Amino acid sequence: MKRDRRSRILATLGPASSTVERIRELCAAGADVFRLNFSHGSHADHAERLKLIRQVEAERGHPIGVLMDLQGPKLRVGRMAGGKVLLEAGQPFRLDLDPAEGDASRAGLPHPEIFAALEAGTELLLDDGKLRLRVDRFGPDFAETTVLVGGALSDRKGVNVPGVLLPISPLTAKDRADLAFGLELGVDWVALSFVQRPEDIREARELIGDRAWIMAKLEKPAAIDHLDAIVALADGVMVARGDLGVELPPQQVPVLQRRIVRAARKAGRPVVVATQMLESMISAPVPTRAEASDVATAVYEGADAVMLSAESASGLYPVEAVSIMDHIIGEVERDPAWRTELEASHTPAEANTPDAICCALRRVAELLEPAATVAFTSSGFSALRASRERPLAPILALTPRLATARRLALVWGVLPVPFDEVHDVAEMIEHATAATLKAGVAQPGDTVVVVAGLPFGQQGSTNLLHVARVPGVPGVPGVPGV
C-alpha cells in the first residue's frame, strides 16, 4: 500500500468507525495509524476494534499501527446541588475535600495534591477555562478563592492548574489496568497523558519496557520547561493542543507547536499534531478554510502525522474527514515551498556514526535523486534516523519484526515492510532492490540508496551506506506480506 505523501494520518476509532467496512474505508481514504481512546469505551470495545484493524491489515498486506491513548488523571470538582450553580465575578468561593454537594459558596475538590501545590495568587480554571478563580488563602484541605470570571458550574467539571507542577503520577489505577490490557492486546504505541517531567516517562517505561513505543502527550505547560529531556526519553511526542489551549493563552499555542515540532525533529522522534484539526467536520461534510490551513501548517512544519479525534470517532463524516486531510497533505507536499521550508528548519546532525551516515544519505539523495531509500532495521533506529533527514525519496524500512513495522507506520516518509533476516551485504542489496520494485517506488535501472547497521540486528549501529541500481530484469526475491 504505497502512500505518495510523507506526512501520516492518525485516525481515532469510535462509535462512528468501528465496523470492518468503515475501517477498510478509512484505510482506503488515507488513514495510516488508528487511535484507541481509553477515555471512552470498554475493554471489550477496544479489543474488537483492534481485531478488526488486524483483519484489514491482513487483507491489505501492509502494516497498520495502533496507538492506545491513556486517559491520565482527571481533576474534577464534585457534584453540585441541583446539578448546577451560578458563580458571579468578584464573589468568594471555597474548594475543599468535603464530599457534600456544592452550592454557590463552595464545592468539593477531592484532590489533596492540588491543595499541596497551591500558592497565593495561583489561578484555577474550571470547565475548560470557562470559569477562573484566584487563590487567596489555602491549607492542606481547602482553598479560599475569588471568582475572576464567573458562569455556570455543574457536576464533575474539570479543573486545571496552569503554571503549577502537580505531585501526581500520570498513571492512575485505571491507566495501569488499561495499559496492561492494551499491551496484552498488542498495541504498538502508548500515548501517555498528563506528562509534566522526564520522570513520568521513566515511570511508564518501567511498566511498558520494549513491548510498545511511548508517545508523550505534551498538554501541560510544566512539560515545556523540560521539553528536551522529555523528547529524549520518549519514543515520540504529541502536541496535545486541547489542554495546552486551556492552560495557556491561545496565542501561545501556535508558537509552542512550532517549538515542539522542531525539538522532536532535531531529536529524530516522530511528532504528531493533534486536537480540533478538522473539528467542524464532526457535523459538516467540509472543513472550514482555517482548519485546512491548520493541517497545512503542521505539514509545512514537518510533523510526522496529523490526528483526527471526534471527527473520525463519532462524527457524521469520518471517511470524508480522512480523505480531505489526505488531500490537504498531498497539496502541501506538491508545493515547492514545502521542500524549502523543510530544508530551512532542518537541524545539524550529531557527531556520531549513525547521524553521519544519515547526513551523508541526505547529501547523496540531493545529488543522485534516487527513487527510494531502503533502511534495513530491526529496532526501527535506522529508519528513524533516515526519516530525521527528511529525504524527498520514500524510505522503505525493511524489518524482520512485524512489531517494528507497525510502529514505523506513524513515521514521516517511511513505508514499513516486514521482511526476512539478511545475512550479508550482497543479500541485503538484492533484497533492497527487490523491495523497491515490489512496493512500486522504483523501476528497473533506477538508483536506490541503502542504509543499514553492521553487524545486522544490532540496535543503533547504523554505519553503512550503499548506492545500488535496481536490476534491469525483474525476478529477484519478492517481498512477503504481513
Burial per residue of 419-439, b for 16 or more beta-carbon CB atoms within 10 angstroms, e otherwise: beebeeeeebbbbbbbbbbbb
Q: At 472, is the pLDDT very low, low, confident or very high (cuts 50, 70, 90)? A: confident
Rounded CA-CA distance 482/476 in Å is 19
469 has catalytic annotation: no
Residue 113 clears pLDDT 80, i.e. is over it: yes
The active-site residue out of 6, 8, 35, 269 is: 35
Q: Give domain 81-160's CATH superfamily.
A: PK beta-barrel domain-like (2.40.33.10)
Q: Contact 446/371 with Cβ under 8 angstroms?
A: yes
Q: What's the fold here for domain 8-73+170-338?
A: TIM Barrel (3.20.20)
Residue 60 clears pLDDT 90, i.e. is over it: yes
Which strand ranges, in their side-by-side order, compose the sheet holding 447-453? 414-418, 395-399, 372-376, 447-453, 462-469
State mean pLDDT over 104-130.
94
CA triplet 220, 42, 208: central angle to 5 degrees?
55
Q: At 475, is the pLDDT very low, low, confident or very high (cuts 50, 70, 90)? A: very low
- Report pLDDT digits (tens) over 161-194: 988 899 999 999 999 999 999 999 999 999 999 9
State mean pLDDT over 221-233.
96
Q: pTM of this prediction? A: 0.93
Which residues, at least 6 apart from 200, have a Cβ–Cβ distance to it below 8 Å?
169, 170, 192, 194, 216, 230
Indicate the average pLDDT of the chain. Answer: 93
CB atoms within 10 A of CB 262: 16
The active-site residue out of 24, 74, 76, 469 is: 76
pLDDT over 70 percentage in the chain: 97
Residue 122 clears pLDDT 60, i.e. is over it: yes
Q: At 453, is the pLDDT very low, low, confident or very high (cuts 50, 70, 90)? A: confident
Residue 450 clears pLDDT 50, i.e. is over it: yes
Q: At 481, is the pLDDT very low, low, confident or very high (cuts 50, 70, 90)? A: very low
pLDDT at 458: 73
- Report pLDDT digits (tens) over 253-310: 999 999 999 999 999 999 999 999 999 999 999 999 999 999 999 999 999 999 999 9
pLDDT at 473: 54
State mean pLDDT over 58-73.
96
Q: At 87, is the pLDDT very low, low, confident or very high (cuts 50, 70, 90)? A: very high
Residue 457 clears pLDDT 70, i.e. is over it: no
- Which residue, among 276, 205, 195, 277, has the nearest Cα to 237 in the 3D structure? 195
The domain limits of the chain are 8-73+170-338, 81-160, 353-469
Residue 149 clears pLDDT 90, i.e. is over it: yes
Helix H, strand E, coil C: the string for the chain is CCCCCCCEEEEEECCCCCCHHHHHHHHHHCCCEEEEECCCCCHHHHHHHHHHHHHHHHHHCCCCEEEEECCCCCCECCCEHHHEEEECCCCEEEEECCCCCECCCEEECCCHHHHHHCCCCCEEEECCCCEEEEEEEEECCEEEEEEEECEEEECCCEEECCCCCCCCCCCCHHHHHHHHHHHHHCCCEEEECCCCCHHHHHHHHHHHCCCCEEEEEECCHHHHCCHHHHHHHCCEEEEEHHHHHHHCCHHHHHHHHHHHHHHHHHHCCCEEEECCCCHHHHCCCCCCHHHHHHHHHHHHHCCCEEEECHHHHCCCCHHHHHHHHHHHHHHHHCCHHHHHHHHHCCCCCCCCHHHHHHHHHHHHHHHHCCCEEEEECCCCHHHHHHHHCCCCCCEEEEECCHHHHHHHCCCCCEEEEECCCCCCHHHHHHHHHHHHHHHCCCCCCCEEEEEEECCCCCCCCEEEEEEEECCCCCCCCCCCCC
Q: At 2, is the pLDDT very low, low, confident or very high (cuts 50, 70, 90)? A: low
35 has catalytic annotation: yes
Rounded CA-CA distance 198/229 in Å is 6
pLDDT at 358: 86
pLDDT at 3: 76
pLDDT at 480: 36
The active-site residue out of 49, 217, 269, 388 is: 217
Q: Contact 134/146 with Cβ under 8 angstroms?
A: yes
State mean pLDDT over 46-51.
98
Whole-Å CA distances, 452 to 18, 146, 353, 397, 422? 38, 61, 12, 10, 11
Q: Which CATH architecture has domain 353-469?
A: 3-Layer(aba) Sandwich (3.40)
Grid cell locating 475: 525476478
Q: At 463, is the pLDDT very low, low, confident or very high (cuts 50, 70, 90)? A: confident
Whole-Å CA distances, 7 to 114, 154, 454? 39, 41, 29
Residue 318: burial class (beta carbons within 10 Å; 0-12, 13-18, 19+): buried
pLDDT at 482: 37
- Which residue, among 448, 435, 414, 444, has the nearest Cα to 481 in the 3D structure? 435
Residue 39 clears pLDDT 80, i.e. is over it: yes
- Report pLDDT digits (tens) over 349-368: 788 888 888 888 888 988 99
